[in-house]
Amino acid sequence: MNNRYKYSTCNKMVKYSLSVLLVVFCSFYAKAQSVSLTDLKQYADKVTTAPLYKLSGSLNSNLIYTAGTNLGVNTPFIWALNGNLDVTILDKIKVPVSLNLSSAGFGYKLPQSPSRIALRPVYKWVKGYLGTNNMSFSPYTLNGHVFSGVGIEMEPPASHLKISAMYGRLQKAVEYDSTNTYFKSATYERYGYGTKLLYEQKKYDIGLVLFGGKDTYKSLLFKPDSLGIRPQQNFVVSYLVTLRPTKGILFNGEFATSYFTSDTRTGSIPQGNVDKLVNYFYNYKESTRKNSAFKIQVGYNIKKTILGLMIERIAPGYQSMGIYFINNDLENVAFNFSHVFLNNKLTIAGNMGTQQDNLKKIKSSTSNRFLGSLNVSYLPKENIYTSFNYTSFRSFMYVQPVFQSIAVLNQSQFQNLDTLNFKQVSDNANYYLNYKFKTSAASTKAISFNINYLNTSNLQTNNAISTLNIATKYYNSSLAYQYNINNIGLNLNAVYNFNLSVQSGNNNSRTHGPTFAASSSLLNKKLKLGLSLTYNNTLLAQNNSQINTLINRFNADYKIKKSAIRFDFLMQNRSAKNGNSTNSMGNLSYSLNF
C-alpha cells in the first residue's frame, strides 16, 4: 500500500506540473486574445483528469545471414532494430520517437553512425527535433542532412509565419586509420546551425534561409593535410519567393549565395572588402569563395493542361555543408507539358531540356546535353491498360587540345590525341500492355507484356577509328501470366524473361529463362507462404561460354494478433566454365504493433 501510495502521489505531481506548464504556454500563446482565469482553470482541470500518457507504435527486428562466394561480406550475421513510438502526454503533447539500431559498422569509426534515436515532440503548432534527425530548408542550403542536436518548427496561428531552426553536429571526428575497412579517410568534427523564416499570403510567399557550418580544428590529433582534408567553414544565405497572381499560374524561385572557406587557418580579410552583413555572421578568409545558385519555375495548370518552365544555374564551386552532394558548374533549362484526352482515357506528357557546363569558360572542355521524353498512357477499357515511354539523351563535348597553344610542336603528330571531342547518344523506349480477363468472385486472371529498348553510342567525331566508336543496344522483354484463386487464397505467377545485349567487338550476350512463383494464405489468412523458382541461361558470344543460374526463394509470414514473424530465404547456384558458386541469404524478422 505504501509503494502504491507513493506511486499515486508521484503520478499526481507529474500531472499537475505538466498541467501548469501547459497553462502557462497556452496563456502565452493566447496573446491578443481575451482569456479569463475561469477558462484557464477549466483547461487545467481537463488536463489533470486526462491519462498521464498513451503509447502506440511499431517495433521491427531483423536478423540477417549472408554466406557465399566473393560477396565481400566480413560478418555473416547482422542484426537491426527499428521502430516508431508515439507517446501522448495528458492528451495534449505528442512525442514521436524513432529508433534505428544496427550492428553494421560496430567496431569502426564513421562520420555518422548507422544507429540513430530521434524524438519529435509535437504540441499544437510546435514541433521539436531531439536526438539524431534530419531537416530540410531548401535545395541549396540544408537539404536532408542528418545532424545530432535540436531543432524546432513553429506555425503560430493567424500569423502567416512558419519558423524553423536547428543546431547540432553534422559529422563526428574520425582519425585516419588504415585498418578501418569501412572508412579509409578522416573527418573533422563539424557543427551546423540554421533557420528558415517563411511568410505566407494568398497571392505570394517570401522566405529567408540562413545556414552555417564549421569544422572543429582541435577535434583531430593528427591533421590530415596530406589527404587533402582541411578544416572548413560555410555560410549560406537564400531568398525564397512564390507568386500566385491568378488561378492556375504559379511562380516560385530560390536565390542562394554560399560563402565557403576551404581552410579556416588562412588569414582574415578586412570587413571593408566584403559585405558587412555577411561579416556579422561569418569570418571571411583568404581561402573563402563566394558562389551563387538560383532556380526559377513557372507553372500553368488550367483544366486538363499542364505547362511548366524551369531555369536553374549553379555556379562553379558552389557548396553547402547542409547538402551531401550537389552538381555545380551547370545551367539547366527544361520545359514540360501534359494534357488529357478522350474523357480521361488518354494522357500525353513530355518534357525537353538542355544542360551545359563550363559556365565561366575556364575549363579546356565544354559539354552540352539535350534531354527529351514522351509518355503516353491509354485506358480504352477497364480491363486494358497500355503505355509507351520514350527518352532521348544527346551529349556533345568539345575540347580544345592543349597542343594548339604550343607553336613549336608539329601539330600532325598530336592531332589524334583529342580523344574527348565526342558525341554520346542514348535512346530508351518502353512499351507495356496489361490485359485482365473476365473476373469473378472465385478467381482473377491477367496477362502482361513488356519490352524495353536501350541504345547507347559514344562517337568520336574527329576520329574514324572504329574501336573508338562504341555502340551498345539492349533488348529486354517479359511475358507474365497471373492467376488468383480467391476462395482458397492461392496466387500463381509465371514469367518468361528474355534479354539481349549487342555491343561493338562481338561482345554480345543473351540471357533468358522462366520464373514460377506461388503464394498462399492459410489458417484464416494468419499464415502466408511463398515460393519461387528462377532459371536463367546466359550465353557470352566473345568466348562462346554459358552461365546457368538457379535461384530459389522461400518466405513465410505468420501473424499473431498485433505481431508478425517473417522468414525469408534465398539460395543462388551459379555454374560456369570458370567455376561454380553458391550464395545464400536468410532474414528472420519480428514486428510488433501496439
- Is a pLDDT exceeding 90 seen at residue 39? no
Q: Check residue 413 and give its pLDDT.
A: 41
Mean pLDDT of 127-152: 95
Task: Name the least confident of 128-137, 176-185, 206-215, 566-575.
Answer: 176-185
Mean pLDDT of 183-210: 94
**pLDDT tens digit sequence for 116-133:** 788 888 888 999 999 999
Per the model's pLDDT, the better-predicted residue between 545 and 364 turns out to be 545
Q: Which SS3 state, helix, strand or coil, does residue 487 take?
A: helix
Confidence of residue 289 (pLDDT cuts 50, 70, 90): very high
Q: Check residue 31 and give its pLDDT.
A: 43
3-state secondary structure 143-182: EEEEEEEEEEEECCCCCCEEEEEEEEEEECCECCCCCCCC
**Helical (H) or strand (E) element with 572:** strand 563-576
Q: Which of 206, 164, 205 is nearest to 322 (CA)?
A: 164
Q: Check residue 184 and give its pLDDT.
A: 75
Confidence of residue 25 (pLDDT cuts 50, 70, 90): very low
Q: Which of 323, 296, 290, 315 is nearest to 213 (CA)?
A: 323
Q: Supply 189's cell numbers.
A: 568534427
Confidence of residue 462 (pLDDT cuts 50, 70, 90): low
Q: Check residue 448 and give its pLDDT.
A: 97
Q: Check residue 35 and give its pLDDT.
A: 45
Question: In this structure, what DSSP letter does residue 564 have?
Answer: E
**pTM for the whole structure:** 0.77
Task: Give dist(CA 120, CA 126) in Å, integer.
Answer: 10
Confidence of residue 539 (pLDDT cuts 50, 70, 90): very high
Q: Supply 113's cell numbers.
A: 553512425
Q: Check residue 14 and give its pLDDT.
A: 41
- Is a pLDDT exceeding 70 seen at residue 508? yes
Confidence of residue 18 (pLDDT cuts 50, 70, 90): very low
Confidence of residue 423 (pLDDT cuts 50, 70, 90): confident
CB-count burial class (<10 Å; 0-12, 13-18, 19+) for 523: exposed
Please count the residues of the chain: 594
What are the residue boundaries of the structural domains of the chain, listed by start? Answer: 1-50, 134-149+156-324
- Is a pLDDT exceeding 80 seen at residue 46? no
Strands 509-522 and 527-540: antiparallel
Looking at the DSSP assignment, which residues form a beta bridge with residue 451? 431, 477
Calculate the CA 144 to chain-centre distance: 9
Q: Would you list the DSSP string of 4-69?
A: HHHHHHHHHHHHHHHHHHHHHHHHHHTTTS---HHHHHHHHHHHHTS-SEEEEEEEEEEEEEEE-S
Other Cβ atoms less than 10 A from the Cβ of 573: the count is 14
What residue type is assigned to position 16 of the chain? Y
Q: Which SS3 state, helix, strand or coil, does residue 117 take?
A: strand
Radius of gyration of the chain (CA): 31
**pLDDT tens digit sequence for 329-369:** 999 999 999 999 999 999 999 999 999 998 988 877 788 88
- Give helix then strand counts, H and E, for the chain: 3, 27
Q: Check residue 503 and give its pLDDT.
A: 82
**pLDDT tens digit sequence for 380-395:** 999 999 999 999 988 8
- Percentage of the chain beyond pLDDT 70 is 81
